[in-house]
């Protein structure tokens, strides 16, 4: 069997699924996860959830502007979210350059 080196032992398959869904359906699912008491206290979900919420809000504002100037090609930025969702589903923590530092420094993750 192959070993998953980045996955912590307390991360369940449910945690990985919710973390992946937070990226795919951002910012809706991250807001819902903030309202579910037992999910928002899980460290793996909380780390991915806050990153997905922040990046989802930023992309919701920036992507239409970029898409308008590039005739729709700016929407390709959304496909990066699927890559992050894949990594979260594998049980890995995603390092988004500025967002991860912001979330950690604010104590949200």
Q: Are 57 and 27 in contact (CB under 8 A)?
A: yes
The pLDDT profile of the chain, 109 residues, written as one tens digit per residue, is 333 445 566 788 999 999 999 999 989 999 999 999 988 888 999 999 999 999 999 888 888 888 788 877 766 777 889 999 999 999 999 999 999 999 999 988 7
Would you list the domain boundaries of the chain? 13-106
pLDDT of residue 7: 58
Q: Which residues contact 55 (CB under 8 A, 6 or more apart)?
A: 23, 26, 81, 96, 99
């Amino acid at each position: 069997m192959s070993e998953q080196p980045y996955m912590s032992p307390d991360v369940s398959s449910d945690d990985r699924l919710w973390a992946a869904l937070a990226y795919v359906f951002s910012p809706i699912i991250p807001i819902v996860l903030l309202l579910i008491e037992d999910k928002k206290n899980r460290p793996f979900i909380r780390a991915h959830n806050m990153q997905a919420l922040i990046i989802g809000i930023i992309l919701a504002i920036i992507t239409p502007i970029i898409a308008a100037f590039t005739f729709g090609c700016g929407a390709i930025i959304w496909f990066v979210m699927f890559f992050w969702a894949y990594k979260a589903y594998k049980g890995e923590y995603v390092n988004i350059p500025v967002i991860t530092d912001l979330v950690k420094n604010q104590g949200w993750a």
